[in-house]
């Protein structure tokens, strides 16, 4: 395999995952929390694909595609929630959304 070894890809994936995790915990705009969640999923995807290459087996890539589909589903539900908040004139702020019924 030319270029950097698998460990370098794993390190990059871990960095993206940790940055996304910090974003989910720090930010209070739900849209940016969703974007940070996407970062976490993509960091995990990179690790999956790196290990698929390491073992020479395509199962990791199939799993990465499944993660992509689940991420799309999660985005639909998350954005639906944000749109519902905007419709009901609730402020778009995760800390103010402490009650589910309103």
Residues 59-88 binding other proteins (CB under 8 A) are 59, 61-62, 64-66, 68-77, 79-84, 86-87
Under rule CB under 8 A, residue 44 binds other proteins = no
Under rule CB under 8 A, residue 100 binds other proteins = no
Under rule CB under 8 A, residue 52 binds other proteins = yes
Under rule CB under 8 A, residue 3 binds other proteins = yes
Is the CB of residue 36 less than 8 Å from the CB of residue 24?
Answer: yes
Is the CB of residue 49 less than 8 Å from the CB of residue 59?
Answer: no
Record the tokens describing residue 41, joined without a space: 């999923």
Under rule CB under 8 A, residue 90 binds other proteins = no
Is the CB of residue 41 less than 8 Å from the CB of residue 71?
Answer: yes
């Amino acid at each position: 395999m030319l270029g950097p070894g698998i460990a370098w890809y794993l390190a990059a994936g871990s960095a993206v995952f940790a940055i996304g995790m910090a974003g989910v915990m720090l930010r209070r705009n739900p849209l940016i929390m969703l974007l940070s969640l996407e970062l976490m999923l993509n960091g995990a995807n990179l690790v999956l694909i790196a290990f698929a290459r390491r073992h020479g087996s395509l199962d990791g890539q199939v799993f990465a595609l499944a993660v992509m589909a689940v991420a799309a589903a999660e985005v639909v539900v998350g954005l639906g929630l944000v749109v519902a908040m905007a419709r009901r004139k609730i402020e778009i702020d995760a800390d103010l959304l402490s009650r589910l019924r309103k």
